[in-house]
Structure 1
Amino acid sequence: MGSLMKIACSLSNPMFLFYFAQAPILSGSVHTPSNKRHEDPLLPVIVYVHGGGYDAGNTSLYPVQDFVKGSDYGLVAVSIQYRLGVFGFLPGAAVKYGGALNAGLLDQNFALQWVQEHISSFGGDPSKVTIWGQSAGAGAMLQHLVAHGGDTQPPLFRAVLMNSPFLPFQYNYDDPIAERVYSEVVSAVNCGHAQDSLECLRSADASSLLEADTQIGFSNFMGTYTFVPVVDGTFITERPMVTLQRGRVNGEALLVTTNSDEGSLFITPDVLTANNFTLSRYITELFPRLSKKRVQQATEIYSNMGLTSVPEEASAVMGDSMFVCPALAAVSAFGHNGRKAELGIPPGTHALDLSYDFTTFAIPPTFTHPDFLKAWQQSFLSIAMSLNPNDATVITPNWNSWDHGFTEMMFNKTDDDEPVVGPCVTDKGLIKRCEFWVEVSPETSQ
């Protein structure tokens, strides 16, 4: 039986010990088997990026050491903390020409470069790096898939694992909406009269910027976020959907998963009901640049799904447009090297999968059948180890790529609490709805 050794370090020097602070800074921890000898073969590596809407989250919440143990001490795990919110995703032309757009993504990119240069010192193989994220963490992985037009050189990873990839609107850095966000931040920290507003922001107290982040965030429409990636023209050269539709992606293999009810967490039914929201109004508020014709089409599509209320229909719109359809677009771009799974364990809400991804997550899973847990977890670890999720030691049957008849793997349970793990065909109605969201992506800015 092996054991773990944790090393927390700044990413500028692999031997400098640094413990995580609560501030949004770039730092990381490396977990490696303690019995790993210098002469042993190098091990595959997982680099984990946490979620939180690009505005919250901390590596300490995600016990990546579970991956090392789950692999029988056959891999190295890395987790990274990156800049969030206004610190990591402030848009605007002033930032483009006087600073760094998508700083949070650049933090992650720098961390991946650091892994390439230094992970061998910890027993990891830089040629066998897998990146993994959930929600906005998975959305960030999607950004790295399409970075540099899908042709990052030299490559920084070989495989990608994404749980519920979050793809909100992604405007050009100088879009009027992006410029309005920049102006709101400038105004909130009393830099409106400064000759150099960006320099004024740099000199502002961090607490003032955090307050501005919170203040602006509270004014968002239901379930949406302000400080998210933009098309910066350098790292992200075009809308992600454009790159995915061209089939240009970084990485050799992808496993992407979604939950059966991704959208409801971002819907407040009481607010919709109290304000007499129609589905049409909700769609218009969610995507303000969607034409009236497209809003009408979307309303017809989701009104005819057999759902019983506007909140349920709104949940379906949110779940499809910002999570499930981006997942299908990504797996489609990988062709025969892309695989898809769905976690159907009730209630199937967004982030439920975290309890199953980790064996020691703070919120334990509601379904604890050991065969099920092993099958789910080994799906990801097998990709990281060998690029192949087919593992003879688990109950999961042969797993085909998604382009093999739109086949995905369903992870669910019976009413008698027995595991159900097997292939299924992606719902044709969902595929048609996703075709709609891809078609209108120029208007939704995805």
Structure 2
Amino acid sequence: MWISYVVLLPLLAGVPLVGAVGPLVNFDYSSYRGTARSTGVTEWLGIRFAAPPLGELRWRAPQAPLQNDTVIDAVAHGHICLTTRRTATPDPPDDPKTSEDCPFLDVYAPSSASTTTKLPVYLFIQGGGFNSNSNANYNGTGLIQAADMNIIVVNFNYRVGLYGFLASQEVVDNGDTNVGLLDQRMVMQWVQKYITLFGGDPSHVVLGGDSAGGASLLYHLTAYGGRDDGLFQAAAAESASFGNMLNVSQSQYQYDAIIERVGCGYDKVQDTIGCLRSLNVSYLQAHNFNIPYPDGGPRARAPLYMYQPTIDGGIITDYSYRLLQTGDFIRVPVIFGDDTNGGTVFTPPNTSNYSEMDQFLVDQFNAMTTNQLEIMNAMYPPAETYPDSGPLWRTVSNAYGEMRYMCPSQAVGSAYSEYSASGTWIYRYNVMDPNQTEKGYGVPHTVEINAIWGPYNVAPQTAPASYYPGQSNGGIIPVIQGYWTSFIRSYDPNTYRVAGSPEWVQWTAWAKDRLVFQTNATAMEVVDHGQQARCAYLQSIGILTQQ
């Protein structure tokens, strides 16, 4: 039987190969020296992919990196992008790991790769509600090892919050909207230009992402009305979020509020955006927080995530639900899915009645009507209760989790099964961690990311204790990594799945088959009729709720 040379690479890890990529990589703008680890993986940390977005480059599309003729030791992660606070409460002192100058990426590649191996590339977009970089600096070693040393992993930072998604007429006239998404696109273009230097194949790029990163995948699938620029060939989204989408004029209140808070108001200066660009970032950051939507009433609170991707007629042409309905998206293989209890980490634990539930939902989706809320109240009866929480906490969690996460992913699956023959797979992650279950969180938002990357490769102390080797949920790690790395390598989660794991059947709008991940019990299931009915309603009002 013929065996490819690539399959033999893990056997040769640590052994110098003719033509193997060395730690020193030369770009046309700089050179970076990585580190070859005993794991058989070489890592390059903190590679700059764009010029510092400071001063006059605030709220402008990313620019090419500046020329640097010195060799840079790529041994430390780059700065994480600045966060927008949910409330006006001051943050602790500035975190030295964060900065406005944050366009940096990391590359992980098998040390035995060469410029001719053309390995598949997994390009990961982290989440954080478009207001923070919440999954920064994950280590790609575990995924590479799970893929038999046959992939390359790239992850990166992108501008978020005030710096990434400020929108107004002033920004349109003298800047760019959605620069956080343009940062992501800049990294995709960087991969096209340079990934061969690490042994990667620019014609085999699979996008990954969780939460806002998963939402970003859909924004790129529908970018410019579904224009395919050849930047990627497949996408795997975890817990993709369908947030509240405003257009430029609807976003104007955010701009008007920040210029008033920092002394750049219309009554003080003529060039308000120039004034904003001139401000010291520490001063600007002190005033960087969310506010309620206009006309929200006396009980209104700021949404969890105020700055969001904006319908600007450019990279985003319409609501996500409408673009799915009209088929205006790139036809590539996709995975979309969610956690059973995706709303629990977001909703107020003290929610006591439907009035409070409705206020929370309107605070997040300001276009919701009284009639829509009444229907949702009927669809979501009182659920189970937990100590130290209000009687409707799990009820509002169920409603928010399905509206923002679970039902949109199923809508993606149905649209792709209708318009695309490339392959569509949907999942539900239902791995129970004892500690999370006891606290009432169930299987919370994006918890599957710890299994996909492996508990040792995410941020310290964030993976549930049960996910580590020898613990109750340790067995789910190789199973989900098998599906994910198979998809990265072959655009099909079944090709290299772990022996004994079930075939992941494709989703169709009529059958609604999805894979449910459970420790020692992963299997296909049909979405229950109750969720089918609730999702049908939520999807029917998706454009009206500005998603």
- Provide the TM-score with structure 1 as the length reference: 0.91
Aligned residue identity for 1:322: R
Q: What's the offset of the Cα at 1:123?
A: 0.9
Distance, in Å, in 1 between the alignment partners of 2:134 and 2:405 is 22
Q: What's the offset of the Cα at 1:213?
A: 2.0
Distance, in Å, in 2 between the alignment partners of 1:198 and 1:65 is 43
Of 157, 160, 175, the match for 1:99: 175
Identify unmatched segments of 5+ residues in structure 2. Answer: 1-9, 14-39, 50-63, 80-97, 294-298, 386-390, 433-441
1:355 aligns to what?
450
Is 2:349 aligned against 1:269? yes
1:399 aligns to what?
504
Q: For each residue in 1:132-167, what CA deviation from the matched residue of structure 2 results, as whole angstroms up to 9, or x when unmatched? A: 111111111121111111223x22111111110012
Instruction: Please say if residues 172 and 231 of structure 1, whose CA atoms lie closer than 8 Å, have aligned partners that are also in contact.
Output: yes
2:319 aligns to what?
239
Distance, in Å, in 1 between the alignment partners of 2:205 and 2:301 is 37
Distance, in Å, in 2 between the alignment partners of 1:222 and 1:323 is 20
Q: For each residue in 1:373-395, what CA deviation from the matched residue of structure 2 results, as whole angstroms up to 9, or x when unmatched? A: 11111211111100111135333
Aligned residue identity for 2:78: F
Is 2:403 aligned against 1:292? no
Please state whether the residue corresponding to 2:187 is helix, strand or coil.
Answer: helix
Distance, in Å, in 2 between the alignment partners of 1:98 and 1:351 is 37
Instruction: Please say if residues 261 and 349 of structure 1, whose CA atoms lie closer than 8 Å, have aligned partners that are also in contact.
Output: yes
Identify unmatched segments of 5+ residues in structure 1. Answer: 414-418
* 1:214-225 superposed matches below 5 A: 214=289, 216=291, 221=301, 224-225=304-305
* 1:191-270 superposed matches below 5 A: 191-192=264-265, 193-214=268-289, 216=291, 221=301, 224-270=304-350
Q: For each residue in 1:262-286, what CA deviation from the matched residue of structure 2 results, as whole angstroms up to 9, or x when unmatched? A: 001111222x33x984444444444
Q: What's the offset of the Cα at 1:41?
A: 2.5
* 1:44-123 superposed matches below 5 A: 44-57=120-133, 60-123=136-199
2:238 aligns to what?
163
1:364 aligns to what?
463
Instruction: Please say if residues 75 and 385 of structure 1, whose CA atoms lie closer than 8 Å, have aligned partners that are also in contact.
Output: yes
Please state whether the residue corresponding to 1:397 is helix, strand or coil.
Answer: coil
Aligned residue identity for 1:377: Q
1:345 aligns to what?
431
Further displaced range: 115-124 or 125-134? 115-124
1:313 aligns to what?
395
2:379 aligns to what?
301
Q: Residues 10 and 220 of structure 1: is their aligned pair in 2 closer, same or farther, counting only changes over 3 Å?
A: farther
Of 171, 179, 189, the match for 2:262: 189
Distance, in Å, in 2 between the alignment partners of 1:84 and 1:253 is 28
Q: Residues 172 and 87 of structure 1: is their aligned pair in 2 closer, same or farther, counting only changes over 3 Å?
A: same
Distance, in Å, in 1 between the alignment partners of 2:515 and 2:42 is 34
Whose Rg is larger? Answer: 2
Q: What's the offset of the Cα at 1:228?
A: 1.1
Aligned residue identity for 1:124: G
Aligned residue identity for 2:319: R
2:411 aligns to what?
329
1:389 aligns to what?
493
1:434 aligns to what?
535
Further displaced range: 242-251 or 136-145? 242-251
Greater per-residue helix proportion: 1
Is 2:116 aligned against 1:10? no
Please state whether the residue corresponding to 2:99 is helix, strand or coil.
Answer: coil
Aligned residue identity for 1:205: N
Instruction: Please say if residues 341 and 409 of structure 1, whose CA atoms lie closer than 8 Å, have aligned partners that are also in contact.
Output: yes
Q: What's the offset of the Cα at 1:243?
A: 0.6
Distance, in Å, in 2 between the alignment partners of 1:349 and 1:435 is 23
Q: Residues 379 and 222 of structure 1: is their aligned pair in 2 closer, same or farther, counting only changes over 3 Å?
A: farther
Instruction: Please say if residues 255 and 380 of structure 1, whose CA atoms lie closer than 8 Å, have aligned partners that are also in contact.
Output: no
Distance, in Å, in 2 between the alignment partners of 1:73 and 1:437 is 42
Q: What's the offset of the Cα at 1:312?
A: 1.7
Please state whether the residue corresponding to 2:374 is helix, strand or coil.
Answer: helix
Instruction: Please say if residues 395 and 421 of structure 1, whose CA atoms lie closer than 8 Å, have aligned partners that are also in contact.
Output: no
Residue correspondences, number? 434
Q: Residues 343 and 223 of structure 1: is their aligned pair in 2 closer, same or farther, counting only changes over 3 Å?
A: farther
RMSD: 2.4
Q: For each residue in 1:322-375, what CA deviation from the matched residue of structure 2 results, as whole angstroms up to 9, or x when unmatched? A: 111221122222215110111111220113112212121233342445542111
Distance, in Å, in 1 between the alignment partners of 2:176 and 2:184 is 13
Distance, in Å, in 1 between the alignment partners of 2:394 and 2:178 is 33
Q: What's the offset of the Cα at 1:101?
A: 0.5
Is 2:513 aligned against 1:412? no
Please state whether the residue corresponding to 1:77 is helix, strand or coil.
Answer: strand
Q: What's the offset of the Cα at 1:59?
A: 5.8
Q: Residues 73 and 168 of structure 1: is their aligned pair in 2 closer, same or farther, counting only changes over 3 Å?
A: same
Distance, in Å, in 1 between the alignment partners of 2:300 and 2:481 is 35
2:94 aligns to what?
none
Q: For each residue in 1:169-209, what CA deviation from the matched residue of structure 2 results, as whole angstroms up to 9, or x when unmatched? A: 0111211xx11111111112111122111111111111122
Distance, in Å, in 2 between the alignment partners of 1:124 and 1:251 is 23
Please state whether the residue corresponding to 1:126 is helix, strand or coil.
Answer: strand
- Provide the TM-score with structure 2 as the length reference: 0.75
Aligned residue identity for 1:352: V
Q: Residues 223 and 10 of structure 1: is their aligned pair in 2 closer, same or farther, counting only changes over 3 Å?
A: same
Q: Residues 405 and 33 of structure 1: is their aligned pair in 2 closer, same or farther, counting only changes over 3 Å?
A: same
Greater RCO, 1 or 2 (C-alpha within 8 Å, sep 6+): 1
